[in-house]
């Protein structure tokens, strides 16, 4: 299950002696009682850690809050139902933990469901393992004050998105990812709404225009040199398109918008057929510029004011010079009066109530409206 590696390795580890469990907090911290760890074989501990990471990836803490389990005594019941939802998919790879082995059948429920459905229909029974607040949203005494360590909610959301992207990539090969994980990834990374197809089509169109152009070069001899005597003839070349992505990371880009921007970067690497991108994180300055072949390599930093013109200018100065620049922004930015010479610019507008400044006519603009909740 390599698609869960990034989530597992993002969890810091702390000792929690005397707790009698290995658990995760809602801030993605693993709390481990060394006496309990000492009783587990290596494969048992590995299965348990994967199981705990799955609670975090599937956002069981927030889902428990929405289900109202924190308001009554159903937290332990919810923990069992969440275990069953996860283990149903872990069983496909023989990774159900011995410590928390509940499956849907143990609850008297049919396989393939969600914890919310199991919560309503499950038979009564004891919780077999305390998975921590990361499973039910209820703080444990050993976890310390809320927010003193671990991941911020926005960082956790971006990490979930990265896991979903990896599942989406690996799921194209039959038999590599269980169906439950694929359905979860589709709910996090929807791919069937019109604006996504439109954006991918616009990028492909821009890339095709550049790829179809030709130029003269003296870097290699022409095939007609023999007929030209002492005249050196250039040869025709077809440039390879190079795409740069400018991601708005200003203060107006909250965690949800950043997650959507990251989803579009993943879409460029998959649906638009690009093998590599150069991604720039920009507010009024460029905070990160990296080559990326996978979504995990992208780093979004910033949080100040906004000037996408600075990002476009920085992208135009990259070497080799990009042929297409994609700008992902909420639109709360001024724009330069002129486009960079010889570069096509495509703007993906993350619409939430309409932009303050509409992109200029020299840029191809696609409105990414997420009003449908996808």
Q: Per-residue pLDDT tens for 338-361?
A: 889 888 888 888 865 555 567 888
Residues 248, 333: Cα–Cα separation, whole Å:
9
Residues 221, 235: Cα–Cα separation, whole Å:
6
Q: Residue 264 falls within a domain, yes or no?
A: yes
- 322: CATH: 3.40.50
Whether the link from the prior residue into 334 is cis, omega within 30° of 0, is no
Residues 263, 161: Cα–Cα separation, whole Å:
7
Last residue of a domain, one of 171, 188, 205: 188
Residue span of the structural domain in which 56 resides? 2-188
Last residue of a domain, one of 188, 207, 235: 188
Q: Residue 131 falls within a domain, yes or no?
A: yes
Smallest Cα–Cα separation from 82: which of 65, 94, 93, 354? 65
Are 164 and 208 within one domain? no
Which residue is listed with tokens 């949080």?
Answer: 303
Are 166 and 99 within one domain? yes
Query: Residue 245 pairs with which residues in a beta bridge?
Result: 279, 326
Last residue of a domain, one of 188, 206, 222: 188
Q: Residue 175 falls within a domain, yes or no?
A: yes
**Contact status, residue 305 vs residue 251, Cβ threshold 8 Å:** yes
For residue range 198-244, what is the model confidence (pLDDT) as tens digits? 555 556 555 555 555 555 666 666 766 666 677 777 776 555 567 89
Q: How many domains does the chain have?
A: 2
Residues 364, 347: Cα–Cα separation, whole Å:
6
Q: Residue 63 falls within a domain, yes or no?
A: yes
Are 174 and 237 within one domain? no
User: CB neighbours (10 Å) of residue 333?
Assistant: 24
Considering only residues 159 and 41, tell me which one the structure prediction assigns the higher pLDDT. 41
Q: Residue 374 falls within a domain, yes or no?
A: no
Are 145 and 181 within one domain? yes
Mean pLDDT of the 7-17 span: 91
Q: Residue 75 falls within a domain, yes or no?
A: yes
Are 165 and 289 within one domain? no
The pTM (predicted TM-score) of the whole model is: 0.55
């Amino acid at each position: 299950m390599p698609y869960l590696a990034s989530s597992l390795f993002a969890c810091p580890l702390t000792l929690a002696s005397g707790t009698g469990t290995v658990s995760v907090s809602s801030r993605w911290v693993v709390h481990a009682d060394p006496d309990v760890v000492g009783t587990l074989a290596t494969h048992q501990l590995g299965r348990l850690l994967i199981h705990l990471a799955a609670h975090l990836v599937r956002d069981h803490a927030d889902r428990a809050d929405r289900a109202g389990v924190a308001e009554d005594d159903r937290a332990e019941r919810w923990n069992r139902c969440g275990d069953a939802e996860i283990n149903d998919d872990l069983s496909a790879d023989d990774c159900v933990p011995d410590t928390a082995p509940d499956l849907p059948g143990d609850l008297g429920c049919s396989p393939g469901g969600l914890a919310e459905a199991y919560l309503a229909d499950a038979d009564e029974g004891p919780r077999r393992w305390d998975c921590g607040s990361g499973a039910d949203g209820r703080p444990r005494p050993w976890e310390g004050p809320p927010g003193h360590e671990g991941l911020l909610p926005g960082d956790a959301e971006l990490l979930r998105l990265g896991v979903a992207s990896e599942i989406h990539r690996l799921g194209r090969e039959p038999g590599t990812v269980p169906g439950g994980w694929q359905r979860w990834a589709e709910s996090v990374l929807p791919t069937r709404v019109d604006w996504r197809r439109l954006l991918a089509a616009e990028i492909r169109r821009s890339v095709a225009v550049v790829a179809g152009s030709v130029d003269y070069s003296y870097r290699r001899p022409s095939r007609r040199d023999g007929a030209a005597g002492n005249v050196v003839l250039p040869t025709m070349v077809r440039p390879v398109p190079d795409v740069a992505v400018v991601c708005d990371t200003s203060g107006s880009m909250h965690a949800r918008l950043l997650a959507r921007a990251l989803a579009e970067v993943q879409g460029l690497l998959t649906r638009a057929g690009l093998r590599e991108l150069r991604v720039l994180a920009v507010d009024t300055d460029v905070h990160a510029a990296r080559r990326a072949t996978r979504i995990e390599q992208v780093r979004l930093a910033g949080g100040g004011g906004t000037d996408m013109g600075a990002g476009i200018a920085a992208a135009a100065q990259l070497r080799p010079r990009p042929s297409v620049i994609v700008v992902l922004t909420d639109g709360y930015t001024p724009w330069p009066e002129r486009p960079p010479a010889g570069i096509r610019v495509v703007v993906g507008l993350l619409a939430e109530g309409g932009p303050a400044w509409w992109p200029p006519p020299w840029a191809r603009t696609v409105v990414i409206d997420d009003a449908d909740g996808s």
